[in-house]
Amino acid sequence: MDERELELFFGPQHMGMVGNFSITLKVRGDRVVEARANPGYLHRGFAKMMEYRVWIQNFPLVCRINVMDPDPYELIYAMGVEELAGIEVPERAKYIRTIVMELSRLASHLAWIWAYGNALGFDTIGQWSMGDRDYIIDLLEFLTGGRIYHIYIWPGGVRRDLPDGFEEKTLKILDTLEGHLPEYDDVFFNNRLFVTRARGVAKITKEEAIELGATGQVLRATGVKMDIRKLEPYAAYPYLDFEIPVREDGDSYSRMMLIREEMDQSISIIRQCFKKMPKGPVYHRVPNPFKWKVPKGETYVRMESARGELGLYMVSTGEDKPYRVHFRPPSLPHGILILEKLLKGASIADVGHIMMSLYIAAPEVDR
Amino acid sequence: MVIKIVEMIVSPILAFVIGVFFLGLSRKIMARIHRRYGPPITQPIIDMIKLFYQKSVSHGILFDLGVVLSLTGSVVVILFIPFGGMCPLSGSGGLLAILYLMLLAPLGMALSGGEGANPNISIGISRKFILSLGYEVPFLFVILAIMTHYKTISIVEIVRAQQGLHWSIFSLPLLLSAIAYFIILPAILGIRPFDIVSAPQEIASGPMVEYGGKYLAFASIDHALHLFIGIALFVDLFLGGAREPITFFIKMLVVFIIGLFINAVFPRFRIEQAIKFLWKWPTFFAFLGLIVALVVR
């Protein structure tokens, strides 16, 4: 191959790119010499917009921060408001919130198996997982009325109780999904070509991952057992029994395998929730939302979204609108710092799946 | 003489129809494997007609000539391939001519790619030639083994020698060659796990990236013809060809569908992994087949 340096634009219009994101690559031969991540195609200015809307009006905004995994944003915003206002959430609502969280995690992981398989040029697994994701989206539509954005979780609980037949339908869909997962293993996760392509690619050490602010699968793939669901349990997670999958290698393969293993855990969590869920109210009444003045104060709440640690810093000056709302999305360090670091020296063929293995959601990076 | 001329006109058209049918069928079968319905089998034809109506952007005279050269190469190769008792250029060259002429298509692609001046094209072209290097070595061994076994370079003679279920795949020396050829067949056809050249998710379809309108239509036609050549060669060399087109077509269909299943369950190799693989197993089998063919002779 020649030694000319070429500039390659990987996105925003590129068949290997998922989401409105772009990477500018400098390549020599088949190797990437330098990579620059360009977010900025999806800037909607949510942080500022939220300062001009009353507390409750921000729910349709927060869920749009991450298209693939919108529910954690609703929950964390509700958690922030509850902490400022000192509202206690009913037990049943906590379980329902956990179910919604895990369904959202499952949908997000399934979508990402598609994205990753697509980056390896393997569309069979992608079409299967996207098909299965649709069942979960149907389920969320049945529960909330919305397919992608649900706006279901509110300060003080959830909007309404589970509809009749929701439990049976969910368990049935989980059974279907569990029946399909071994097929995924046969075709993709145990596929020798996937292992050869992904193992040892884009390795990151434990120290580097911590230093660059990695969370979620990126950090857990390096052997750190970090999950906010265990560290600072919220919703119904303290009452549930589940494992945190951890791997040691820190490469693209282990990150993807973690996503696969977490799906088993999510299914088990949802089943436990249905078993342990108490009867009772799902909503703690809050004052008239349009006149509601949340007490003065500031707070930082955090939780585990599908991609890693999601944080929210929120300041109230005692007005009917928030003074400052700032999110710490997990994809920000993954999508800029770690991506640029890991792409250096990679093969062009690997650019796509390195990016997908970091589980980067472009709308999260930009907001 | 008149029959020859008619054959010369008919066989490329027939090859095109079969190639396009295979393209449509592959989309349908892949869709069923993906658990979806898929487009109608006529979809590639519909696409091509649409593309011919679209405005096309040229990047210079070589860009145009490259496409033409590529297509010409494929059409000429088809004239040398026996297809169910029909072989317009049976008297001249045979296998050696096919070997040479099969290089025309990638050369044409490289020619027009150079004019396109898109970095993705250069990467795609360099991948194409590296990959050719990978599969041409076992391919050459396979061809040599066959020529040694049948003591002829004429592909028509080879087909004739296999008549009546004396297929080369059933004879021990050529079974190894058949395995080798079958393994490199996806690389020759450019399908997974060897679709490194086009690799939409990596280099945005590589050499095809600047093609639009008529150019893309010609590229699709070339692709269809290429599909025909790769599979027809396998059927002629190992599955005994056929006396009438229908049998030949059924044999091609079987090979194609098996290849499609392989295509459905594998991701894509990285280029160096592909070369490593191609120079390991197929080359080993092909070389062993050649030695056995030499000894048994």
Q: Residues B206-227: what's their mean pLDDT?
A: 84
Evaluate if residue A303 carries a pLDDT over 80: yes
- For residue B132, the one-letter residue type is S
Query: Which residues fall within 8 angstroms of residue A365, CB to CB, at 6 or more apart?
Result: A21, A39, A42, A329, A331, A332, A335, A336
A124–chain B nearest CA distance, Å: 5
Chain B residues whose beta carbon lies within 8 Å of the beta carbon of residue A121: 192, 195, 199-202, 267-268
Could you tell me which chain B residue has the CA closest to the CA of A129?
B34
pLDDT band, residue A134 (cuts 50/70/90): very high
The pLDDT of residue A3 is above 70: no
Confidence check: pLDDT of B280 > 80: yes
Mean pLDDT of A14-24: 80
Q: In this structure, what DSSP letter does residue A51 have?
A: G
A348 interface with B at CB cutoff 8 Å: yes
Q: Where are the domains positioned within chain A? A: 5-366
Closest Cβ opposite residue B123 in set A124, A196, A348 = A348
Whether B202 and A349 lie within 8 Å, measured CB to CB: yes
Contacts of A40 (CB under 8 A, 6+ apart): A366
The answer to whether A118 and B200 have CB atoms below 8 angstroms apart is: no
Q: Is A24 on the interface with B (CB under 8 A)?
A: no
Tell me what the mean pLDDT of segment A179-188 comes to.
89
Q: Of A79-93, B83-97, B143-157, which gets the smallest average pLDDT?
A: B83-97
Share of chain B above pLDDT 70, in %: 97
Distance CA A201, CA A13 (A): 25
Give the pLDDT confidence score for residue A357 in this predicted structure.
87
B109 pLDDT higher than 60: yes
Q: What's the mean pLDDT when you consider all of chain A?
A: 87
Subunit contact A348:B33, Cβ cutoff 8 A: no
Indicate if the pLDDT at residue B98 is higher than 70: yes
Mean pLDDT of A231-237: 86
Average pLDDT over every residue of A287-310: 87
**Digit-coded pLDDT (tens) for A332-363:** 888 888 888 888 888 888 888 888 888 888 88
Mean pLDDT value of segment B196-215:
78
Of all residues in chain A, the percent with pLDDT exceeding 70 is 99
CA dist., res. B260 & res. B247, Å (int):
20
Mean pLDDT of B240-249: 80
Residue B143 has a pLDDT of: 86
**Which residue of A5, A124, A180, A357 to mutate against B (max B Cβ within 10 Å)?**
A124
Q: What is the pLDDT of residues A194-225, one digit of tens each?
A: 888 888 888 888 888 889 888 888 899 898 88
High-pLDDT (> 90) share of chain B, %: 3
Residue of A nearest to B198 (CA): A121
The domain locations on chain B are 2-295
From the list B30, B193, B201, which residue is nearest A193 (CB)? B193
| A121 → closest Cβ in B30, B199, B204 | B199
Q: How far apart are CA A271 and CA A36, in angstroms?
A: 43
Mean pLDDT of A304-321: 88
Nearest C-alpha neighbor of B187 from the set B262, B293, B289? B262
pLDDT (tens digit per residue) in A239-279: 888 888 998 888 889 998 999 999 999 999 999 988 888 88
Gap between the Cα atoms of B29 and B38, Å rounded? 8
Mean pLDDT (chain B) is 83
Mutation test of the interface with chain A: which of B197, B201, B272, choosing the one with the most A Cβ atoms within 10 A?
Answer: B201
Describe the crossing of helices B2-33 and B43-53 by its angle, rounded to 10 degrees.
Answer: 110
Check whether B86 has a pLDDT greater than 50. Answer: yes
> What is the model's pLDDT at position A1?
45
| pLDDT value for A110 | 92
In the predicted structure, residue B281 carries a pLDDT above the cut 70: yes
- Kindly provide the b/e burial profile for residues A65-83, where b requires at least 16 CB atoms within 10 angstroms of the residue's own CB: bbbbbbbbbbbbbbbbbbb
DSSP classification of residue A288: -
Q: How far is residue B120's CA from residue B202's CA, in Å, rounded to a whole number?
A: 9
Per the rule left: phi > 0, alpha: psi between -120 and 50, beta: everything else, A171 is alpha
Which of A283-292, B108-117, B161-170, B221-230 tops mean pLDDT? Answer: B221-230
Decide: A128 and B34 in contact? Cβ < 8 Å: yes
> Which positions in chain B touch A5 (Cβ < 8 Å)?
none
Residue A34 dihedral angles phi and psi, to the nearest 5°: -150, 140
Q: Which distant-in-sequence residues (6+ apart) come within 8 Å of A211 by Cβ?
A: none
Rounded average pLDDT over B237-265 = 85
Structural element, H or E, at residue A48: helix A46-49
pLDDT number for residue B167 = 76
- Mind telling me how many Å the CA of B79 is from chain A's nearest CA? 34
Contact check, Cβ <8 Å, B270/A347: yes
Which element (helix H / strand E) includes A208? helix A206-211
- Residue B65 contacts by C-beta under 8 Å, 6 or more apart in sequence? B108, B111, B112
Rounded CA-CA distance A216/A358 in Å is 9
Q: Please write the tens of the pLDDT for every residue from A191-201.
A: 888 888 888 88
Instruction: Assign domain A5-366 one CATH number from 3.30.1370.60, 3.30.9.10, 1.10.645.10, 3.40.50.1000.
Output: 1.10.645.10
A71-123 confidence digits (pLDDT tens): 999 999 999 988 888 888 888 888 999 999 999 999 999 999 998 888 888 88
Choose among B156, B154, B108: nearest CA to B7. Answer: B156
| Inter-chain residue contact A197 with B36, CB threshold 8 Å | no
A128 reaches B (C-beta below 8 A): yes
Question: What's residue B93's pLDDT?
Answer: 67
